[in-house]
Amino acid sequence: MKVRGRGDMPCEKRVVRADAQGAVLLEVILALVLLAAAATIIGAGMGRSIDAVERMRLNLHAADLAASVLAEMQLGLRTPGNGPQAFEIPFEHWSWELRSAPVESELGNSSKLTLVEAVIRHDDPPVVHRLAQVIRPQAKAGSTP
């Protein structure tokens, strides 16, 4: 005698079908876990690459500002040794500093050259860029070279 469940289907077939449904559910859950893990890894990678691009943009901007500060110093618009000073708007998050030191020859004698270093800083995120250049001091007005 066969035991019948709902309708005309034997109980054995219903058990097999329940096992198959459990396997499908397990596959769906596993697929969702793998999808979530892949999305997390891709999202983290995208975040790191965006941060790297922002850091590169700030470093390039700092290099441009350093070259501008050195050029302004050579034109006599900025003087070294005044400590960190803020830039004007729209660069209010940036500061600059000029340091100078005399260049010595291999024998320890001083020369007419000066090593000038421009230090550019950004507040947040913290960026520090240094650019140095050896220059010949400008002759004072009325003096002979």
Residue 41's pLDDT is 96
Q: How confident is the model at residue 103 (pLDDT cuts 50, 70, 90)?
A: confident
Give the per-residue pLDDT at 112.
83
- pLDDT tens digit sequence for 5-18: 555 555 555 545 66
Query: Considering the chain, what percentage of its residues have pLDDT values greater than 70?
Result: 81
- Answer for the pair 114, 79: CB distance below 8 angstroms, yes or no: no
What amino acid is encoded at 41 in this protein?
I
Q: What HEC string does the chain produce?
A: CCCECCCCCEHHHHHHHHHHHHHHHHHHHHHHHHHHHHHHHHHHHHHHHHHHHHHHHHHHHHHHHHHHHHHHHHCCCCCCCCCCEECCCCCCCEEEEEEEEEEECCCCCEEEEEEEEEEEEECCCCEEEEEEEEECCCCCCCCCC
Which pLDDT belongs to residue 136?
A: 82
Residue 145: the pLDDT is 47
**Percent of the chain predicted with pLDDT > 90:** 44
pLDDT, tens digit (0-9, with 9 covering 90-100), for 15-74: 456 667 778 888 999 999 999 999 999 999 999 999 999 999 999 999 999 999 999 988
| Average pLDDT score, the chain | 83
Supply the pLDDT for residue 4: 56
98 neighbors 77 (Cβ within 8 angstroms): no
Contact 74, 49 (CB under 8 A): no
